């Protein structure tokens, strides 16, 4: 934090502590809101990778940007709450964010000349410059002297320059961020916006000049009737992925209209089907620039396609020729039926079958010439080929396109297993929420207490009420995880996805319905638990075609990006290395900031700082002096100006619940007066007078409508309760701290055991050090939090003098059970 902000913090602390608390609370709310946003965004990014969700990289980059902004808001919030302890936090965030942006940054794309290349030039063989289709044809010309129509290529560098000169890159990104492959209407809307932008943009003069030079060099002496074809040649086209029919070809173009046709072809890169195809295969937009092939138009008498192998995957030694009268576009667009010729290929091509219901389109010599070119090209390229051809009016053969033939693999018998599961299985739980997908089988281990974590066997399905972050230490040893509470946005869900461990949350009554030791299968993607081990062994872990997507540029890049986001190393907040400098990911920062923000707010009361100025005294019949500092929504509007507030008018949801418990009719408030003897001694030593209503002996609360931080003092000991009880379960929590006590050491120890038993019964995670007890509860719905807060109020009333009345270890279990059952407690003073 800079010097000005640090001075601002200290000025508030010294001269206006109430204002400082309000500012800290507002910063705390900022942290909580940003924490919720960050977890949601991180969960979405992790789900994209875990589920292989198909998205454009522009959309995921935008999610990453929003995540970085949310974490930055958390950083700023914590530095406002506790500036001295977090001086290095901003720099740590900047470093992590720098490496994240480095992973997301696209490469620099070249947009300098050449903007055109002749098809017969050596440069035309470079696919990065001329695209897949043109490079394949240039290879046929240079290596084999194949009969390919004359032409030139408007290069990929021209495409990049077109975008740069017209400032279109940001417009493209804006559209691609909105892509939704599950909605054709959304695809269409994005496509329409992008295509309109491209078609309305002028072709830069440098590209126009290069096109004109090529045109004059090739066709200056031709008659005015010359026409050309203008066809797509994107990088990646006609390669391992064909992009067949995804881009436009414009035929019968007069040389004067090449520019219009050029814009039409490059804009076809963004048609709905082309967008879907590219994103579905996990390819990046600007890694597939569009070159454009301009060739002399051949008026085909007969046109068609030659497959040098059977596309169905059968190796039967045949080739097939599909032919139509006129242009081949009628064939490849599916608007014309074709005549089919089947040719044998070993040892020499021979005609095995002719079309029965078509006139003779090709004679034997023409078929043999075509077959000969097919064999030569296949041999040179060491793989089956898909070749488009046409025959001009003078009978000459022209090759228009040659690309690898996509053949179907043989069926995998494992694909025949319905839903990946054998029929007849018994469903034990269903309708659960998938936090991490997968299929895993193992014996059930029901975790009732954290003390039993060490007893969880390898390969078990862990079943628990809550999914706590520190369970992460077990994930590498589990077959599955099922919790009654939790969220896919929780810390544990994030780590489970990293481990690819099947994890179900919101599994109602799982700890009751799933019997310890029973073999079960967690079918996380379907949100269910099945009896027995019914997962087919050897089944692929991903759906058909998913493995290819997992190896796609998108998934490879996303996995690299997630190394800066997901890994969580900051697991133990009490460890010495739980410091900003130890954070290596945004997840680490989120975990650290949330923990430190909660601790800082918790310390408002435990520091024994005075926040009485501007506070209200709570009026009630209980012998408790409580002063409330309202930071928004804790008191009704008509009481805001008053110095006192009746307890029944409290509007703070958590504080009102605690007070309800303190006011339980079953509690007895008779007994000795409660004094803070530390404060009493200091006042007496200072020569002051002590009043029973002195604020120095009172309890304090900082509260809003959904939050409270309250210090309840009962003379010999004090208790701090901090709770957030709002609409979002993933940010709700309750912290409880108990310390002090005046009685016998044995009595104090027994009281701590009683407190521990009750709090664990209420679902808290409890730790004890000496006479200090800390308990935490997280990720609980407000409706579930309320009765626990009421129980805490009752607990405070029950335990205020319990250390003086407990005398036997055998009392504890019965007392815990009675308290949780809301029965009267037998803790009368020992005679």
Strand runs labelled E in 106-181: 116-118, 151-154
pLDDT band at 697 (very low <50, low <70, confident <90, very high): very low
* pLDDT digit string, tens, across residues 166-214: 999 999 999 999 988 777 778 889 999 999 999 999 999 999 999 999 9
pLDDT band at 323 (very low <50, low <70, confident <90, very high): confident
Contact 492, 480 (CB under 8 A): no
Q: What is the pLDDT of residue 277?
A: 78
Architecture per CATH, 439-540: 3-Layer(bba) Sandwich (3.50)
Burial class (CB in 10 A: 0-12, 13-18, 19+), 830: exposed
Burial class (CB in 10 A: 0-12, 13-18, 19+), 755: buried
Q: What is the pLDDT of residue 281?
A: 81
| DSSP, residue by residue, 707-719 | EEEEEEEETTEEE
Q: What is the pLDDT of residue 743?
A: 60
Kindly give the interhelix angle for 89-104 and 586-606, rounded to the nearest 10 degrees. Answer: 160
Phi–psi pair at 107, nearest 5 degrees: -70, 165
pLDDT band at 658 (very low <50, low <70, confident <90, very high): very high
Overall size of the chain counted in residues: 831
- What value does the mean pLDDT of the chain take? 82
Angle at 138 between CA 135 and CA 142, to 5 degrees: 135
- Give the residue, 588 or 339, on which the prediction is more confident: 588
Q: What is the pLDDT of residue 501?
A: 86
Distance of CA 261 to the CA centre of its chain: 41
Which residue ranges make up each domain of the chain?
20-105+567-604, 116-296, 300-404, 439-540, 608-820
Q: What is the pLDDT of residue 61?
A: 95
Q: What is the pLDDT of residue 764?
A: 95
Q: What is the pLDDT of residue 14?
A: 39
Contact 303, 390 (CB under 8 A): yes
Q: What is the pLDDT of residue 411?
A: 37
pTM here is: 0.66
Alpha carbon distance 274, 326 (integer Å): 27
Q: What is the pLDDT of residue 490?
A: 64
Average pLDDT of span 281-298: 92
pLDDT band at 473 (very low <50, low <70, confident <90, very high): low
Flag whether pLDDT at 129 surpasses 90.
Answer: yes
Q: Helix, strand or coil for residue 335?
A: coil
DSSP state of 254: -
* pLDDT digit string, tens, across residues 41-60: 988 898 899 888 889 999 99
* pLDDT digit string, tens, across residues 769-784: 766 788 999 889 999 9
Q: What is the pLDDT of residue 71?
A: 97
Flag whether pLDDT at 1 surpasses 80.
Answer: no
CATH fold of 300-404, please? D-amino Acid Aminotransferase; Chain A, domain 1 (3.30.470)
Q: What is the pLDDT of residue 420?
A: 52
pLDDT band at 100 (very low <50, low <70, confident <90, very high): very high
In this prediction, what percent of the chain has a pLDDT beyond 90?
39
- Give the residue, 707 or 544, on which the prediction is more confident: 707
Q: Which residues, including other chains, have CB under 8 Å from residue 205's CB and lie 6 or more apart?
A: none
Average pLDDT of span 634-644: 89
Using alpha carbons only, how large is the chain's radius of gyration in Å?
37
Average pLDDT of span 303-314: 75
* pLDDT digit string, tens, across residues 780-821: 999 999 999 999 999 988 887 676 677 788 889 999 999 999
Q: What is the pLDDT of residue 423?
A: 61
Flag whether pLDDT at 231 surpasses 90.
Answer: yes
Average pLDDT of span 401-417: 55
CATH fold of 116-296, please? Dna Ligase; domain 1 (3.30.1490)
**Backbone torsion region of residue 334, taken as left when φ is above 0, otherwise alpha when ψ lies between -120 and 50, otherwise beta:** left
Q: What is the pLDDT of residue 671?
A: 58
For 688-705, letters b (16+ CB in 10 Å) and e give eeeeeeebbbbbbbbbbb
């Amino acid at each position: 934090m800079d010097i000005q902000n640090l001075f601002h913090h200290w000025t508030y602390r010294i001269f206006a502590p109430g204002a400082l608390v309000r500012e800290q609370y507002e910063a705390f709310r900022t942290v909580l809101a940003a924490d919720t946003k960050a977890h949601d965004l991180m969960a979405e990014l992790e789900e994209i990778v875990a589920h292989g969700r198909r998205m454009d990289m522009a959309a995921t980059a935008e999610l990453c940007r929003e995540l970085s902004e949310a974490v930055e808001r958390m950083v700023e919030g914590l530095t406002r709450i506790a500036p001295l302890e977090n001086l290095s936090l901003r720099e740590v965030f900047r470093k992590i964010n720098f490496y994240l942006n480095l992973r997301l940054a696209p490469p620099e794309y070249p947009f300098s000349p050449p903007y055109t290349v002749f098809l017969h030039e050596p440069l035309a063989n470079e696919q990065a410059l001329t695209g897949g289709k043109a490079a394949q044809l240039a290879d046929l010309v240079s290596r084999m002297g194949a009969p390919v129509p004359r032409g030139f290529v408007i290069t990929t560098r021209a495409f990049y320059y077109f975008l740069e000169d017209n400032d279109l890159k940001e417009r493209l990104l804006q559209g691609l961020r909105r892509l939704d492959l599950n909605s054709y209407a959304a695809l269409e809307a994005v496509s329409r916006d992008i295509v309109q932008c491209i078609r309305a943009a002028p072709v830069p003069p440098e590209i126009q000049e290069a096109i004109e030079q090529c045109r004059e060099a090739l066709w200056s002496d031709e008659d005015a009737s010359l026409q050309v074809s203008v066809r797509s040649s994107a990088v990646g086209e006609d390669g391992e992925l064909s992009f067949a029919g995804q881009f436009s070809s414009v035929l019968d173009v007069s040389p004067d209209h090449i520019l219009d046709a050029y814009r039409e072809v490059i804009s076809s890169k963004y048609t709905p089907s082309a967008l879907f195809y590219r994103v579905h295969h996990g390819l990046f937009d600007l890694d597939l620039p569009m070159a454009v092939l301009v060739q002399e138009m051949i008026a085909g008498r007969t046109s068609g396609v030659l497959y040098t192998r059977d596309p169905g995957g059968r190796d039967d030694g045949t080739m097939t020729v599909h032919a139509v009268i006129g242009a081949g576009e009628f064939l490849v667009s599916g608007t014309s039926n074709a005549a089919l010729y089947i040719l044998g290929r070993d040892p020499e091509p021979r005609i095995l079958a002719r079309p029965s219901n078509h006139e003779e389109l090709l004679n034997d010599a023409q078929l043999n010439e075509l077959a000969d070119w097919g064999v030569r090209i296949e041999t040179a390229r060491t793989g089956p080929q898909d070749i488009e051809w046409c025959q001009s009016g003078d009978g000459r053969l022209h090759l228009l396109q040659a690309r690898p033939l996509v053949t179907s693999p043989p069926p995998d018998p494992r694909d025949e297993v319905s839903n990946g599961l054998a029929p007849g299985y018994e469903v034990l739980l269903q309708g659960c929420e998938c936090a991490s997908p997968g299929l895993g089988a193992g014996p059930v281990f029901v975790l009732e207490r954290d003390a039993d974590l060490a007893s969880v066997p390898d390969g078990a399905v862990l079943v628990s009420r809550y999914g706590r972050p520190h369970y992460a230490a077990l994930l590498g040893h589990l077959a599955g995880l099922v919790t009654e509470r939790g969220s896919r946005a929780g810390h544990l869900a994030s780590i489970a996805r990293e481990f690819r461990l099947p994890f179900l949350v919101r599994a109602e009554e799982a700890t009751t319905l799933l019997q310890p030791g029973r073999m079960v299968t967690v079918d996380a993607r379907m949100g269910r638990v099945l009896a027995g081990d019914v997962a087919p062994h050897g089944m692929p872990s991903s759906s058909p075609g998913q493995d290819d997507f997992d190896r796609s540029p998108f998934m490879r890049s996303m996995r690299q990006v997630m190394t800066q986001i997901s890994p969580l190393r900051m697991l133990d907040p009490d460890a010495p290395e739980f410091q900003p400098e130890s954070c290596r990911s945004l997840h680490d920062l989120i975990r650290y900031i949330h923990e430190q923000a909660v601790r800082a707010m918790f310390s408002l009361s435990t520091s024994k700082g005075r926040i009485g100025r501007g506070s209200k005294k709570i009026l009630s019949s209980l012998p408790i002096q409580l002063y409330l500092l309202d930071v928004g929504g804790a008191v009704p509007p008509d009481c805001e100006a008053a110095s006192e507030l009746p307890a029944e008018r409290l509007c703070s949801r958590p504080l009102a619940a605690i007070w309800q418990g303190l006011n339980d009719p079953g509690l007895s408030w008779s007994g000795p007066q409660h004094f803070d003897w530390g404060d009493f001694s200091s006042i007496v030593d200072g020569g002051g007078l002590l009043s029973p209503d002195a604020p120095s002996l009172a309890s304090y609360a900082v509260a809003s409508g959904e939050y409270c931080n309250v210090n309840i003092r009962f003379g010999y000991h004090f208790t701090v309760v901090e709770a957030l009880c709002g609409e979002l379960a993933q940010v709700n929590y309750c912290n409880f701290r108990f310390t002090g006590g005046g009685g016998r050491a044995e009595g104090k120890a027994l009281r701590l055991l009683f407190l521990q038993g009750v709090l664990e019964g209420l679902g808290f995670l409890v730790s004890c050090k000496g006479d200090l007890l800390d308990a935490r509860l997280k990720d609980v719905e407000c409706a579930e939090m309320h009765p626990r807060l009421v129980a805490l109020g009752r607990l405070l009333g029950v335990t205020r003098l319990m250390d003086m009345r407990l005398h036997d270890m055998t009392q504890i279990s019965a007392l815990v059970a009675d308290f949780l059952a809301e029965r009267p407690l037998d803790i009368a003073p020992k005679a």
